[in-house]
């Protein structure tokens, strides 16, 4: 029983920590409220991360008590990897919130409760072995994200983004549920393994399974905000307070990809469905091409850096989908490339949003390109951090983003998708344009005469988050072998079955 | 089915139809809500006849107890005499909607008539639902034995919904009130209407200076 508690500990630690934090907030005097909550939330996330590492080293394969959770929760290396990743993203978001919320007068303790419980939802999604658990986890994660988007209540833009996100997200969840209902009708199973086996065994309900596959794909692809289901993302990302945007871009997106990989590779890994001739890979490949191209073209036109980063996050979903499509050739390696990309993307994007937070202060949030003009001369440290994360997002060595893209492209080439790889490559060239444009503004432009000048805020929390992400970005770019080995082990021990 | 059972079915079904008709026809929103309530109660009655006591109870608690009451709250907030301005806009989509719904409804009825067993032997081919299927007892047993893991984890779902409701609906803090009054915030956050696809005007420091 202890072993079971240990492999489940990241989730349990987060739940316990969130409850304690809320209790602590309720019991502290009003003027001190929310003061130490960011620190508390960060400690909870770091503890969750430490326990994920512990569970990884302990090994989950020999824990026989895992059967008690079956078929609802599957605790394997894949799950533990995502537990750690969520905790990392959550810790960075909590640190950024500690600086941002105080600076902008939004400091209320609910933010951290939402952050942690939403992360628990992500962990449930990653561990889900049953359609019911997928849905409960997805809703837990999404409802937290909806509320975080609406957190800045004085702002119509925040309300607009939250409402769009909420309505479209609910529709997508309903469509996903329809898909699962049809799968249950066709196979008689709600557990993912059972559905997968029933589909592999074949049967008379082929049409129904195809319709279900389409509905499930729509629901999944909506959650990863791929084109043409991306409409909500820019408004929600722009309206949300920036730490919430960080959280959505990092943790919620990773959760969505965990769900996508788990559902597709467990339920639809049948030879027929997982092939280029008929099934989901060509559909997903087209979606990947559309996502990368459309998002990159629109991102280049933005005047708001925050909105540009939102489109960039959509474009990254496109690159990741290329990796997902490559699973039809070698399930383990391609999945590992997706996991590694998610790790590099999490630290880079959290750092980029964090640097944007750092460049503004109370009543003067840096949002547009002009706001950043000349900041490289006036505040070199902030500009340097921002540049590092943008270079990583663009995929230029020696940063994390380079190896992330490298492994995805290699997986796609191994699978024989040359056209797809070339399109992805040209897209990363387009993307470099708008990332480097920020650098141009920071270092080569001066603010217009008479325009107010952005001054970076001072916050130990934000600085800590940036330093941690910067170290990780460089470390992943210089010595990617250890995290890559972890990603490979997480994928190959979980999806060992040869696909396609 | 006994004669009494049949009579019970027809009473419930008639009431449900009358309620549904009331929702569509009533001009007064309160009457419409009451029609919905009548329909929900009658459907709960039909569930009872099918041995699905749990579903009947949930139907009452969730739909009658929560959703209709919420409708009534909203109607009361707007005032019972609130009317939508009667105009002719949207007549075409409304007609299309009505036609599509009618087609789906008639199609479902047709399917039912076609596939329904015509003879007593055919009826036997359908799986007989045992008496305890859907009962509160059976449901509780499943929920607390087989389904204990999702049951426990859905507490996190409820928790995040509660915190989210508090975060969105709680009274404004002093800092937020000050923020709402500051002209910079007001300017920054007015979403600027822009043509489809065009980049939106960002907020931020520079734009405030232009205003």
A295-307: pLDDT as tens digits: 999 999 888 899 9
Residue B18 reports pLDDT greater than 60? yes
Specify the pLDDT at position A312.
Answer: 95
Structure tokens at A496: 């060992």
- Interfacial A residues in 156-195 facing B (CB < 8 Å): 156-158, 160, 162
> Higher model confidence: residue B138 or residue A314?
A314
Specify the pLDDT at position A497.
Answer: 52
Specify the pLDDT at position A221.
Answer: 94
- Interfacial B residues in 166-185 facing A (CB < 8 Å): 166-168, 170, 172-173, 175-176, 178-180, 182, 184-185
Smallest CA-to-CA distance from A299 within A321, A284, A324, A318 is with A318
Specify the pLDDT at position A403.
Answer: 93
The DSSP-derived string for B101-156 is HHHHHHHHHHHHHHHS--SHHHHHHSPPPPTTTTSHHHHHHHHHTTTHHHHHHHHH
Residues in A closer than 8 angstroms to B188, CB to CB, are 155, 365, 367
Smallest CA-to-CA distance from A391 within A470, A465, A466, A319 is with A470
Residue B209 to residue A22, Cβ atoms within 8 A? no
Specify the pLDDT at position A253.
Answer: 95
Neighbours of A488 (CB within 10 A): 19
Q: Which of A309-323, A459-473, B72-86 has the lowest mean pLDDT?
A: B72-86
Which residues lie closer than 8 Å to A206 by C-beta, 6 or more apart?
none
Residue B160 to residue A108, Cβ atoms within 8 A? no
Does residue A165 contact residue A232 with C-beta atoms inside 8 Å?
yes
- The total of structural domains in chain B comes to 1
Is B6 contained in some domain?
yes
Using the Cβ of A208 and the Cβ atoms of chain B, whether some distance falls under 8 Å is answered with: no
Helix (H) or strand (E) holding A361: none
Which DSSP symbol is given to A456?
A: -
Confidence of residue A287 (pLDDT cuts 50, 70, 90): very high
Structure tokens at B5: 């059972």
Residue A334 reports pLDDT greater than 70? yes
The DSSP-derived string for A157-176 is HHHHHHHHHHHHHHHHHHHH
Using the Cβ of A147 and the Cβ atoms of chain B, whether some distance falls under 8 Å is answered with: yes
Structure tokens at B163: 């915190």
Residues in A closer than 8 angstroms to B209, CB to CB, are 450-452
Angle between helices A9-27 and A37-58 (to 10 degrees): 160
Residue B180 reports pLDDT greater than 70? no
Residue B168 to residue A147, Cβ atoms within 8 A? yes
* Radius of gyration over every alpha carbon of chain B, rounded to an integer in angstroms: 26
Choose, out of A363, A437, A449, A456, the residue to mutate when testing the contact with B (most B CBs < 10 Å).
A363
Residue A129 reports pLDDT greater than 70? yes
Does residue A312 contact residue A479 with C-beta atoms inside 8 Å?
no
Structure tokens at A166: 């909420």
The residue-averaged pLDDT of B17-43 equals: 91
Angle between helices A400-414 and A460-478 (to 10 degrees): 40
Q: Which of A13-22, A61-70, A125-134 has the lowest mean pLDDT?
A: A61-70
Residue B167 to residue A150, Cβ atoms within 8 A? yes
Give the CATH number of the domain where residue B5 resides. Answer: 1.20.120.1200
> Higher model confidence: residue B51 or residue A406?
A406
Specify the pLDDT at position B192.
Answer: 39
Residue A107 to residue B175, Cβ atoms within 8 A? yes
Residue A333 reports pLDDT greater than 70? yes
Residue B121 reports pLDDT greater than 90? no
Specify the pLDDT at position B133.
Answer: 74
Neighbours of A90 (CB within 10 A): 30
Confidence of residue A10 (pLDDT cuts 50, 70, 90): very high
ipTM: 0.90
Q: For chain A, what is the mean pLDDT?
A: 90
Using the Cβ of A114 and the Cβ atoms of chain B, whether some distance falls under 8 Å is answered with: yes
A199-231: pLDDT as tens digits: 888 877 888 888 999 999 999 999 999 988 988
A261-283: pLDDT as tens digits: 999 998 888 877 777 777 889 99
Confidence of residue B191 (pLDDT cuts 50, 70, 90): very low
Specify the pLDDT at position A470.
Answer: 96
Q: Which member of A15, A140, A302 has the closest CB to residue B157?
A: A140
Specify the pLDDT at position B198.
Answer: 42
Which residues lie closer than 8 Å to A194 by C-beta, 6 or more apart?
A71, A187, A188
Q: Which of A19-23, B50-54, B132-136, B162-166 has the lowest mean pLDDT?
A: B132-136
Query: Per this entry, what is the length of chain A?
Result: 500
Specify the pLDDT at position B5.
Answer: 86
Cα A127 to the chain's mean position, in Å? 16
Using the Cβ of B190 and the Cβ atoms of chain A, whether some distance falls under 8 Å is answered with: yes
Is B7 contained in some domain?
yes
Is B205 contained in some domain?
no
Specify the pLDDT at position B86.
Answer: 63
Confidence of residue B203 (pLDDT cuts 50, 70, 90): low
Is B1 contained in some domain?
yes
Confidence of residue B196 (pLDDT cuts 50, 70, 90): very low
Residue B205 to residue A452, Cβ atoms within 8 A? yes
Residue A430 reports pLDDT greater than 80? yes
Dihedral sign computed on CA atoms, order A476, A481, A487, A491: positive
Does residue A158 contact residue A239 with C-beta atoms inside 8 Å?
yes
Residue A139 reports pLDDT greater than 50? yes
Which residue in the block uniquely carries the two structure tokens 């049409």?
Answer: A207
Which residues lie closer than 8 Å to B72 by C-beta, 6 or more apart?
B30, B33
Residue B15, domain extent: 1-80
End-to-end CA distance of chain A: give it in Å, rounded.
Answer: 38
Specify the pLDDT at position B92.
Answer: 85
Using the Cβ of B191 and the Cβ atoms of chain A, whether some distance falls under 8 Å is answered with: yes
Query: How many Å lie between the alpha carbon of A276 and the closest alpha carbon of chain B?
Result: 33
The DSSP-derived string for A222-277 is HHTT-TTS-THHHHHHHHS-HHHHHHIIIIIHHHHHHHHHHHHHHHS--TTTBSSS
For residues A271 and A417, what is the distance between their CA atoms, to the nearest angstrom? 18
A97-114: pLDDT as tens digits: 999 998 888 888 899 999
Residue A118 reports pLDDT greater than 70? yes
Specify the pLDDT at position A332.
Answer: 86
For residues A144 and A275, what is the distance between their CA atoms, to the nearest angstrom? 36
B125-158: pLDDT as tens digits: 666 667 677 778 888 888 898 889 999 999 999 9
Within 13 Å and on the Cβ side, how many CA atoms surround A206? 10
Residue A117 to residue B173, Cβ atoms within 8 A? no
For residues B31 and B18, what is the distance between their CA atoms, to the nearest angstrom? 12
The residue-averaged pLDDT of A312-326 equals: 94
Does residue A209 contact residue A189 with C-beta atoms inside 8 Å?
no
Is B39 contained in some domain?
yes
Smallest CA-to-CA distance from A291 within A309, A259, A314 is with A314
Residue A160 to residues A36, A109, A421, B111, Cα–Cα distance (Å): 31, 23, 37, 43
Smallest CA-to-CA distance from A128 within A69, A169, A81, A53 is with A69
Residue B182 reports pLDDT greater than 70? no
Specify the pLDDT at position A452.
Answer: 73
Q: Which member of A120, A366, A452 has the closest CB to residue B156?
A: A120
Confidence of residue B83 (pLDDT cuts 50, 70, 90): low
Which residues lie closer than 8 Å to A171 by C-beta, 6 or more apart?
none
Beta bridge partners of A191: A130
Structure tokens at B78: 């707007």
For residues B19 and B23, what is the distance between their CA atoms, to the nearest angstrom? 6
The residue-averaged pLDDT of A450-460 equals: 81
Is B139 contained in some domain?
no
For residues B211 and B209, what is the distance between their CA atoms, to the nearest angstrom? 6
Q: Which of B15-29, B77-91, B192-206 has the highest mean pLDDT?
A: B15-29
Residue B209 to residue A450, Cβ atoms within 8 A? yes
Specify the pLDDT at position B211.
Answer: 35
Residues in A closer than 8 angstroms to B147, CB to CB, are 72
Query: How many Å lie between the alpha carbon of A407 and the closest alpha carbon of chain B?
Result: 33
A141-188: pLDDT as tens digits: 999 999 999 998 888 888 889 999 999 999 999 999 999 999 999 998
Residue B102 to residues A160, A371, B43, Cα–Cα distance (Å): 35, 56, 21
A354-407: pLDDT as tens digits: 999 999 888 778 888 888 888 888 889 999 999 999 999 999 988 999 999 999
Query: How many Å lie between the alpha carbon of A11 and the closest alpha carbon of chain B?
Result: 10
What residues does each domain of chain A span? 271-500
């Amino acid at each position: 029983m202890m072993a079971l508690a240990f492999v489940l500990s990241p989730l349990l630690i987060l739940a316990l920590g969130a409850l304690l934090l809320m209790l602590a907030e309720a019991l502290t005097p009003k003027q001190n409220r929310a003061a130490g909550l960011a620190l508390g939330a960060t400690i909870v996330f770091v503890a969750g991360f430490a326990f994920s590492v512990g569970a990884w080293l302990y090994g989950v394969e020999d824990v026989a008590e895992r059967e008690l959770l079956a078929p609802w929760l599957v605790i394997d290396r894949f799950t533990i990897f995502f537990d750690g990743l969520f905790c990392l993203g959550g810790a960075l978001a909590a640190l950024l919130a500690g600086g941002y919320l105080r600076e902008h007068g939004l400091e209320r303790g609910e933010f951290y409760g939402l952050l942690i419980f939403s992360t628990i939802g992500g962990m449930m999604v990653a561990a889900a072995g049953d359609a019911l658990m997928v849905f409960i986890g997805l809703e837990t994660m999404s409802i937290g994200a909806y509320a975080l988007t609406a957190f800045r209540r004085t702002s119509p833009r925040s309300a607009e983004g939250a409402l769009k996100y909420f309505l479209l997200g609910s529709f997508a969840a309903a469509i996903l549920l329809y898909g699962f209902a049809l799968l249950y009708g066709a196979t008689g199973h709600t557990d993912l393994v059972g559905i997968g086996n029933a589909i592999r065994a074949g049967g008379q309900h082929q049409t129904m399974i195809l319709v279900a596959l389409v509905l499930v794909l729509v629901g999944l692809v909506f959650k990863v905000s791929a084109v043409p289901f991306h409409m909500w993302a820019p408004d929600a990302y722009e309206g949300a307070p920036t730490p919430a945007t960080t959280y959505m871009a990092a943790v919620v997106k990773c959760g969505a990809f965990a769900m996508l990989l788990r559902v597709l590779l467990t339920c639809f890994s049948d030879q027929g469905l997982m092939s280029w001739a008929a099934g989901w890979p060509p559909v997903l490949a087209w979606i990947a091409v559309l996502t990368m191209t459309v998002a990159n073209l629109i991102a280049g036109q933005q005047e708001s850096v925050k909105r540009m980063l939102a489109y960039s996050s959509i474009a990254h979903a496109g690159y990741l989908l290329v990796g997902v499509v490559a699973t039809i050739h070698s399930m383990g390696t391609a999945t590992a490339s997706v996991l590694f990309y998610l790790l590099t993307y999490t630290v880079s994007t959290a750092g980029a949003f964090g640097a944007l937070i750092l460049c503004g202060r109370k009543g003067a949030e840096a949002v547009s390109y002009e706001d950043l003009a000349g900041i490289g001369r006036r505040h070199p440290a902030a500009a340097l951090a921002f540049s590092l994360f943008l270079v990583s997002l663009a995929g230029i060595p020696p940063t994390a983003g380079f190896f992330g893209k490298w492994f995805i492209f290699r997986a796609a080439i191994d699978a024989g998708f040359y056209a797809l790889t070339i399109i992805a490559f040209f897209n990363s060239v387009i993307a470099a344009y708008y990332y480097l444009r920020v650098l141009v503004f920071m270092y080569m432009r001066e603010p217009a005469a008479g325009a107010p000048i952005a001054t970076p805020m001072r916050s130990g929390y934000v600085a800590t988050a940036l330093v941690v992400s910067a170290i990780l970005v460089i470390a992943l770019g210089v010595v990617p072998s250890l995290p890559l080995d972890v990603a490979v082990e997480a994928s190959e021990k979980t999806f060992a079955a040869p696909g396609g | 089915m006994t004669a009494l059972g049949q009579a019970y079915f027809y009473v419930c079904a008639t009431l449900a139809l009358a309620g549904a008709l009331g929702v569509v026809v009533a001009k007064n929103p309160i009457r419409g809500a009451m029609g919905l309530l009548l329909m929900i109660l009658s459907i709960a009655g039909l569930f009872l006849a099918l041995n699905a006591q749990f579903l009947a109870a949930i139907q009452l608690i969730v739909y009658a107890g929560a959703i209709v009451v919420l409708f009534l709250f909203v109607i009361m907030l707007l005032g019972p005499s609130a009317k939508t301005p009667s105009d002719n806009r949207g007549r075409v989509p409304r007609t299309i909607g009505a036609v599509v719904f009618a087609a789906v409804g008639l199609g479902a009825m047709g399917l039912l008539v076609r596939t329904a067993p015509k003879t007593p032997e055919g009826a036997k081919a359908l799986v007989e639902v045992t008496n305890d299927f859907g009962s509160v007892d059976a449901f509780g047993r499943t929920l607390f034995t087989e389904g204990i893991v999702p049951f426990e984890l859905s507490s996190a779902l409820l928790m995040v919904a509660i915190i989210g409701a508090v975060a969105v609906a709680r009274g404004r803090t002093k800092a937020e009130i000050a923020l709402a009054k500051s002209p910079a915030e007001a300017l920054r956050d007015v979403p600027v209407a822009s043509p489809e696809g065009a980049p939106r005007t960002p907020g931020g420091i520079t734009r405030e200076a232009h205003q």
